[in-house]
Amino acid sequence: MGLLRIIGKRFYRNKLSLAGAVVVFLVITIALLAPILSPYDPAEIDLNNILSPPSRSHLLGTDELGRDVLSRMLWGSRISLSVGFVAVGIAIFIGVIFGSIAGYYGRWIDTLLMRFVDIMLTFPTLFLILAVIAIVGPSIFLIMLIIGLTGWMDVARLVRAEFLTLKERDFVLAARAIGVRDIRIIFRHILPNALAPVFVVATLGVAGAILIESALSFLGLGVQPPTPSWGNILTSGKNYIEVAWWLSLFPGLAILLTVLSYNLIGEGLRDAIDPRLWGSEGE
């Protein structure tokens, strides 16, 4: 039985992780189809339907400007997922480069790079974002960049640990013996075998990035109106919590389900990848 088949079989048996994967697939599909699924323009103001409760014409109600909440949530899913994917993509790219070089070459290069990683771990992501926003001003692209630049250290450590083990394997020693260049050995021979734990960190990282973006938007420091995001819809909800419960409930549930689903996928992948838990399934 192939390795991928074992991992897939174990992941499929984890019903909670499988349910999380289904939810994430649905959220991504909804985000991609937002222009088609959205019943109204998310920025369209209707002063005749201010704070209307959920109804047949507005399934999730309207906000303080009469804008359709369902439409704003559909479009807001694009922002939240974009932040997660872009920030994690930046973190993985940097982490893989640092971890690969440190793990493969070792010695003083490893020591120097790992000390730099330790220094980077002292910077709290949220407070750094708040400080930069206070200086430069709110920007969704800046938020993506900072989350990525402050979230690659765990990836670097994982990749380094995998490289320290894999670089002594026979297939690597054989490649060196026939004169294969280091860069080809790193990215062609070792790295594909070191990426399994990175996928786990990536799924958990997307969940964390979505939470950070939602928190910043809730504070008014993230996505700026009229661009919709789940966080700034929640901001509207806190001002009308007693008369418009739907403004807090629906975006809150969307954030909860999405983040929980990514975490479930990460947990499922971690269990599926760990060979110590395979037992007789690896036969």
Residue-wise pLDDT tens digits, 106-163 = 888 889 999 999 888 887 777 888 888 888 877 788 888 888 888 889 899 989 988 8
The reported pLDDT for the residue numbered 97 is 92
Q: Under a CB-based contact definition with an 8 Å cutoff, are residues 169 and 51 in contact?
A: no
pLDDT in tens, 166-210: 888 888 888 888 887 888 888 888 888 888 788 888 888 888 888
Asked if the model's pLDDT at residue 211 lies above 90, the reply is: no
The reported pLDDT for the residue numbered 4 is 67
How does DSSP assign 243-263, residue by residue? T-THHHHHHHHHHHHHHHHHH
Closest CA to 96 of 151, 150, 159: 159
pLDDT in tens, 63-112: 888 899 999 999 989 888 888 899 999 999 999 999 999 988 888 888 99
Q: Which helix (H) or strand (E) holds 44?
A: none
Reported confidence tier of residue 275, pLDDT bands at 50, 70, 90: low
CA distance 77 to 85: 12
Percent of the chain residues topping a pLDDT of 90: 18
CA distance 160 to 70: 44
CA distance 268 to 277: 12
- DSSP character for 62? B
Contacts by 9-13, CB closer than 8 A, 24 or more apart:
9/281, 10/271, 10/272, 10/277, 10/278, 10/281, 11/268, 11/269, 11/272
CA distance 85 to 209: 8
Q: What is the mean pLDDT of residues 43-47?
A: 85
The reported pLDDT for the residue numbered 1 is 46
Q: Under a CB-based contact definition with an 8 Å cutoff, are residues 190 and 104 in contact?
A: yes
The reported pLDDT for the residue numbered 280 is 45
Q: Under a CB-based contact definition with an 8 Å cutoff, are residues 69 and 63 in contact?
A: yes
CA distance 150 to 205: 11
Q: How many CA atoms lie within 13 A of 141 on its CB side?
A: 1
Which CATH code for domain 3-40+58-282? 1.10.3720.10
